[in-house]
Amino acid sequence: MYHGIVRRKLYQAFDQLNRGDYDSILKPFAPRFEHFFSGEHALGGTRHTMDACQRWYDRLARVFPDLRFRVRRVIVTGWPWDTQAIVEWTDHATVRGQPYSNEGVHVFRLRWGRLVELHIYCDTAKLIDGLNGQAEHGISEAVAGPIND
């Protein structure tokens, strides 16, 4: 039953992302956490504070304003005091006026329902191409340095 609740909350989180409700995404974060996105690009880096995470999600919304995720699979394992979950997804957006898509995973670690680690992995070559395309269309933040703290 517990794994089913976690699975449902993860689907809800991706629905929030699809609606652009980035503020709700930060609510389950524990006081101490790690938010990591692989690669050296505008969305890469590691964050440990709510301020840095808020700035990261704000940047994500500006760089890919029509970003949408299709969740392909959710795997949950572990106990309430140490839960791991993986969400496999495909995303879609518009880049250079054309459809853009990437695929990847979010790897979550939770303690008592609070998010303590979130690691995001995708095809960074595709992502960097998409970020460069957004920069070509006037979104200079798409090629800014990573937000780290």
Rounded Cα gap, residues 24 and 57, in angstroms: 11
The pLDDT of residue 80:
97
SS3 letters for the chain? CHHHHHHHHHHHHHHHHHCCCHHHHCCCEEEEEEEEECCCCCCCEEECCHHHHHHHHHHHHHHCCCCEEEEEEEEEEEECCEEEEEEEEEEEEEECCEEEEEEEEEEEEEECCEEEEEEEEECHHHHHHHHHHHHHCCCHHHHCCCCCC
pLDDT for 96 equals: 87
pLDDT at position 23 = 87
Overall fold of domain 2-143: Nuclear Transport Factor 2; Chain: A, (3.10.450)
> Average pLDDT of each block of 10 consecutive residues along the chain (149 residues)?
95 95 93 97 98 97 97 98 98 94 98 97 97 96 96
